[in-house]
Amino acid sequence: MTELITPDLVDLDLKAADRHEAARALAARLAAAGRVTDVEGFLADVRAREEQMPTGIEGGIGIPHARSAHVTAPSLAFGRSADGVDFGAADGPAHLIFLIAAPEGGGPEHMTILAALARRLVHESFKRSLATAPAPGAVVDLINREVIGT
């Protein structure tokens, strides 16, 4: 089974002017890892989901996500943005951005990941650990331990 997140799916210095650039940068990492077969097709699915409801949540978090025929395995990419990216949250831009990619027609992994992540993100200590993680591997270890439970 493919790991949900690996160090190559983590960008600790995400540069993006808007949510579309942020999603594109993280989707490119998924594609480079062989987890997304068509970046444009996947991003169209992410945009369609985003149009239904903004994916920004309070506390500086953005969680764009989509099921897509262009996804080969359930995956999570993470970006940390010093400047912040507007994902439509009432309290301002997101500094911690999670892109969840799930295969179309797959099982409940997509919603399970989203729910587990949301439960952890209410804890300031978890967000602080993500905001100060010194290396991609530290982010992977934190998410595996706190969200996935491995």
Q: Token pair for residue 54?
A: 């903004």
Cα distance between residue 6 and residue 137, in whole Å:
7
Cα distance between residue 34 and residue 147, in whole Å:
23
Among the listed residues 20, 65, 110, 123, the single catalytic one is 65
Cα distance between residue 34 and residue 25, in whole Å:
15
Would you call 65 a catalytic residue per the annotation?
Answer: yes
10 Å CB burial of residue 20 (0-12, 13-18, 19+) is: middle
DSSP 108: T
Catalytic residues: 65
